[in-house]
Amino acid sequence: MLADGPKRITDIAGSKSPPTVARARAVVDELMREGAVSVVSIGVSRRFALAGWQEPVEQFVRRTLEDCVPTVDGCMLWSGKNVSDDGYPIGRYLGRSVSLRKLIHEVSAGTPLPGSHFIETTCGNPKCLEPDHLVQVTRSAKLKGHAKPMSQRWKTAMAKRRGSMLDESMVAHIRASDKSLRELSKELGGIPQSTISQVRSGRTWKTYTASPFQGLIDGRKAA
């Protein structure tokens, strides 16, 4: 009876008659004491299954989509309360929290999502789980059109400066000097004139103050 998946006690009993259900429950309780049967939760219902049973991911996805609310635009909107900080649907599968958009896309596509990719919706609704609306995008595509946070811009600039042939004193000298690019290049040991021009115009070595420790650094320098 339980070989093909979890069942309600009335399904096991084959009847809703209280005496029949009671007899079936007595048998199930004995099997549970022996460790052969366990209780599993599927959605909001509790059912009985063979010990060690795990819900197939395809069944979980099908059940999740059945709980969604269809719209006139063809979306399937997540009706649950659990969402990420960005408003994306979160569910529980095999005892752990999962991104429903990612899981549904992987099941529909038949392949795992590459680690460098994310799931977006063609409809633009973060709660939509319609498989046809879920597409994978790269991180750069996901961030396209969004201004980078100042902290990220600061970190990028610092990383580039660590590998630069210039240092802060040289940059300050370039910006304070009224000498020609050729003269500065010769004075600074052959630094390319194009590099000096970019520093002087502010295209490189921009001033970012997004470091959370910048105030402390400036204070220690002043002391």
Domain membership of residue 114 (yes or no) is yes
Tens-place pLDDT, residues 103-149: 999 999 888 888 778 888 888 888 999 999 998 887 665 555 554 55
User: Which pLDDT score is estimated for 150?
Assistant: 46
Q: Which two tokens stand for residue 209?
A: 């103050």
Domain membership of residue 3 (yes or no) is no
Please say which residue of 118, 143, 168 terminates a domain: 143
Domain membership of residue 1 (yes or no) is no
**This model's pTM is above 0.85:** no
Helix (H, G, I), strand (E, B) or coil at 91: strand
Q: Average pLDDT by consecutive 10-residue portion of the chain (223 residues)? A: 79 90 92 88 73 86 88 88 85 85 91 84 89 83 51 52 70 86 86 85 65 46 48
Domain membership of residue 181 (yes or no) is yes
The residue range of the domain holding 180 is 150-211
Total number of domains constituting the chain: 3
Residues 96 and 112 in one domain: yes
Residues 74 and 109 in one domain: yes
Tens-place pLDDT, residues 164-181: 677 788 888 888 888 888
Alpha helical stretches, state H, the chain: 9-13, 18-33, 57-66, 100-109, 139-143, 150-162, 168-176, 181-187, 193-201, 214-222
Residues 113 and 129 in one domain: yes
Q: Which two tokens stand for residue 16?
A: 């809703």
Domain membership of residue 154 (yes or no) is yes
User: Which pLDDT score is estimated for 82?
Assistant: 84
Beta bridge pairs of residue 128: 77
